[in-house]
Chain A
């Protein structure tokens, strides 16, 4: 009976909201619509991440803080920063009303229907922060072209691209993760920087870092931008730095904010002398260059080449051994294009550099998970409704990025869902951006069109043809290999185009007022 009460309560709240949308607020209608879709996805397949989070609920609820980063009954040990642990702790206090058993550390792989319901609803509920962040981002997108038609306004398109983002939907609400509210924090901090509320933006990003340290990839962009645009309070008329306008006060206040947040997060563990253990959990360098499934980055191409060459018979031993030890620094150096001063003119330049950092880290990083592509896709949506060039890069990046997430959902019942949602999102994004930029040159050249269309036959081959062939037993990894390499081509191409656009596009804002 209790489940039904909760269901009824949640659905009554949504019903009340839906009556309000009858009054015509399109944003609320979009948010509610996607929430309803998320409710429908509750009974779908979930990955081991479900057990991971259940385990963390159990750890934070049943054990004292000193044990959190030492507990290892389950293989899914706590490997996110302390704020996330506190978040799970807060959730566990609600969880105990659903099912007390899930909070037992020894109940490995416990997944009763109430547990499922609680976990799924917690993701849906925390997405409220993401919705708010999208709302703030829409305020930063100006509709220069006076469009009377609602569906052609950049705000509307951006809302759909963010709220109904296919990658976020399947990773969060099927595969099961808590990326929604984390990306909400990131988008909110970006929005604050656009709105010139730098301190808030810095604070929000510092908080975000202590929720999930993967966002360290984009920390340099924040650092350099805040230094450039906030600490140096004025520009010369041509836009370059006025060195004598440096404000120590601002620098110190930024540093203090970051320091205080870190103190709040890591302080207790510093007091317990557990910092080395915490860091070893957060940065497990022993794991290896590539994940179980290869993220479609540079290393995937490298690995594929290696494999092909070894199958042919040319064993390039020297090729394989030299690279891994140097890769973190390789990733770092290639991922930091912010040395060019022009790329920091204004918040748009910052956003471009953020995306480039995220994408470069994805391309060359250590033990990258394919879900990290979302780190580049979501901020890119903000740029895509601004310029036609960015729109075309976004479309290539998002389509190939989203397709590369397909192997995450490998079960049969999810096949129609993922294909349908992917088609809907891709068709909508392409058609709406084409309509928005119809007065400029076409978004894709023939090569790009051909590449994107090639995703269709690839999917048909991997999911429908290959399982019935004889190669399935001999070379079962072929679909993954093909998907990974094909998407790596697209993502590399998008990365390259973005890189070029940072350095060749005229710096925005030299003549405009900031």
Chain B
């Protein structure tokens, strides 16, 4: 009934009233079953900071034990204000800076780009929705600062920002491989003996230092660190929970994987599949590091993790949406499509929280903003979809392969119609008695199919990309 709102309030209560050593441990004061802390230490410190402010305004909000389930208008305003302030300080400046650094487009287009990214419905609904208070904007914003830093050759600052992001929410590890490969590729480019090696050492030092700083209070005892890790990575839980737009969940409709494979085999299988699906893009990035390739690799890696990994939550799609927002200016049509699907994939969650009206309204606002800023329906040629070099290679073997853009347009229309129909059905009809989860399963399966298509698409772009980029620059 309470949701993440109560979880955040509870964490403020715990971090304020209990000493650090007890934050992650089960005790009479800290019942881990009741919204126990399961994010890395930086979240805990942030909650502590908010708790100090709450103490100043009204101590009842975080009184130990007695404030459980506390909800009042003033408290809601306070919690929303904390999310807004975190947004204003971290996420929004990063988005604005990213749009300012975009090359070869006018100021008006930059502003439109920033507006579209900020209007992305998923993040708004999850962070500001009825009972959701998630501070996703903090970890995504820090990751974005990391991307910016690394793309502009401020490698140390970028990696520091990214380490902070990982220490805020462990799901940011989805983005870690591309960061690692990109920076490794930069070191290789500068030469392994000399500047490259120096850079490598500096980066390693930065990472180790930032982790140590965040985890310092927990390094005093081995048991502490292990317990925190156990809370962060609950491997006992299983392959998936609820209905998520994930391969495992979709396959389990037909084949009950949870029952067939034993637990440790599940972990190994998911690990291998994830690794296989993201290996080509990461290898390419290491060999040919470029900011554009980096962004596309972020998308494909995060998407691979989302589709194949362990214990994936529906909200993790935000980790894929952020890099897609970054490439919005380069492939507006496909990015808009992806972002619409990602919002749709969270539909069951949003309906549970009574967010139908806001989600439809924000989705339409986002769609209108993108459609008018980028005129997406006109930019569907091969060149604009960045599929030119791929099509050229295919045409060497199949000369008649010219219908790719048309297929993609048809797929888009089918996808949108399916999403609209499913939304209407979920909202208006009651599911049949024998299949109570019918609509959530349909939503997640349809989204999963879409995501698979996008995985293939983004991998194609990454693998066939570099020559394309150079040729385009010559044309302009």
For B375, give its contact among A12, A18, A24, A416 (CB under 8 Å). A24
Q: Verify if B361 is at the interface (C-beta below 8 Å from A).
A: yes
Are A40 and B361 CB-contacts (below 8 A) given A412-B74, A413-B76?
Answer: yes
Q: Is the CB of A149 within 8 A of B108?
A: yes
Q: Verify if A216 is at the interface (C-beta below 8 Å from B).
A: no
Q: Verify if B377 is at the interface (C-beta below 8 Å from A).
A: yes
Distance to closest chain B CB from A438 (angstroms): 16
Q: Is the CB of A412 within 8 A of B77?
A: yes
Q: Is the CB of B357 within 8 A of A7?
A: yes
Q: What is the total number of residues of chain B having a CB less than 8 Å from a CB of chain A? A: 28
Q: Verify if A1 is at the interface (C-beta below 8 Å from B).
A: yes
Distance between Cα atoms of A11 and B363 in the complex (Å): 11
Q: Verify if B367 is at the interface (C-beta below 8 Å from A).
A: yes
Q: Which residues of A contact B375 (CB under 8 A)?
A: 22, 24
Q: Verify if A262 is at the interface (C-beta below 8 Å from B).
A: no
Q: Is the CB of A413 within 8 A of B73?
A: yes
Q: What is the total number of residues of chain A having a CB less than 8 Å from a CB of chain B? A: 30
CB-nearest residue of chain A to B423: A8
Q: Is the CB of A416 within 8 A of B80?
A: yes
Q: Is the CB of B77 within 8 A of A39?
A: no
Q: Verify if B173 is at the interface (C-beta below 8 Å from A).
A: no
Are A8 and B428 CB-contacts (below 8 A) given A22-B377, A36-B361?
Answer: yes
**Most chain A Cβ neighbours within 10 Å, of B76, B81, B368:** B368
Q: Is the CB of A8 within 8 A of B424?
A: yes
**Most chain A Cβ neighbours within 10 Å, of B84, B357, B420:** B357
Q: Which residues of B contact A8 (CB under 8 A)?
A: 424, 427-428
For B428, give its contact among A1, A40, A416 (CB under 8 Å). A1
Distance to closest chain B CB from A123 (angstroms): 16
Distance to closest chain A CB from B421 (angstroms): 11
Distance between Cα atoms of A353 and B365 in the complex (Å): 39
Distance between Cα atoms of A151 and B111 in the complex (Å): 12
Stretch at the interface among A26-34, A241-249, A382-390, A501-509: A26-34
Q: Is the CB of B73 within 8 A of A24?
A: no
Q: Which residues of B contact A15 (CB under 8 A)?
A: 364, 420
**Most chain A Cβ neighbours within 10 Å, of B365, B369, B375, B428:** B365
Q: Verify if A14 is at the interface (C-beta below 8 Å from B).
A: yes
Q: Which residues of A contact B209 (CB under 8 A)?
A: none
Distance between Cα atoms of A149 and B112 in the complex (Å): 14
Q: Is the CB of B376 within 8 A of A22?
A: yes
Interface digits, B54-79 against A, CB 8 Å rule (1 contact, 0 not)?
00000000000000000001101100
CB-nearest residue of chain B to A11: B360
Interface residues of A in 404-449 (CB under 8 A from B): 411-413, 415-416
Are A151 and B108 CB-contacts (below 8 A) given A36-B364, A39-B361, A42-B357?
Answer: yes
Q: Is the CB of A21 within 8 A of B76?
A: no
Q: Which residues of B contact A21 (CB under 8 A)?
A: 368, 371-372
Distance to closest chain B CB from A174 (angstroms): 16
Distance to closest chain A CB from B131 (angstroms): 14
Q: Which residues of A contact B371 (CB under 8 A)?
A: 18, 21-22
Distance to closest chain B CB from A447 (angstroms): 32
Q: Verify if B358 is at the interface (C-beta below 8 Å from A).
A: yes
CB-nearest residue of chain A to B430: A1
Distance to closest chain B CB from A422 (angstroms): 16
For B77, give its contact among A40, A42, A413 (CB under 8 Å). A413
Q: Verify if A5 is at the interface (C-beta below 8 Å from B).
A: yes
Q: Verify if A4 is at the interface (C-beta below 8 Å from B).
A: yes
Q: Which residues of A contact B364 (CB under 8 A)?
A: 11, 14-15, 18, 32, 36
Q: Which residues of A contact B73 (CB under 8 A)?
A: 411-413
Q: Which residues of A contact B376 (CB under 8 A)?
A: 22
Q: Which residues of B contact A5 (CB under 8 A)?
A: 428
Interface residues of B in 126-179 (CB under 8 A from A): none
Q: Which residues of B contact A37 (CB under 8 A)?
A: 365
Are A415 and B367 CB-contacts (below 8 A) given A7-B356, A40-B361?
Answer: no
Distance between Cα atoms of A416 and B76 in the complex (Å): 12
CB-nearest residue of chain A to B376: A22
Q: Is the CB of A29 within 8 A of B372?
A: yes
Q: Which residues of B contact A413 (CB under 8 A)?
A: 73, 76-77
Q: Which residues of B contact A40 (CB under 8 A)?
A: 357-358, 361-362
Are A24 and B372 CB-contacts (below 8 A) given A4-B427, A15-B420, A151-B108?
Answer: yes
Distance to closest chain A CB from B379 (angstroms): 12
Can you list 21 A-B pairs, Cβ within 8 angstroms, ordered by A? A11-B357, A12-B424, A22-B372, A23-B377, A24-B375, A26-B372, A32-B364, A32-B368, A33-B369, A36-B362, A36-B365, A36-B368, A37-B365, A40-B358, A40-B362, A411-B73, A412-B73, A415-B77, A416-B80, A416-B81, A416-B84
9 smallest CB-CB distances across A and B, nearest first, come from A22-B371, A36-B361, A36-B365, A39-B361, A412-B77, A29-B372, A18-B368, A11-B360, A18-B364
Supply 6 further A-B pairs (C-beta < 8 A) apart from A7-B356, A415-B77.
A8-B428, A12-B420, A33-B369, A413-B77, A416-B80, A416-B84
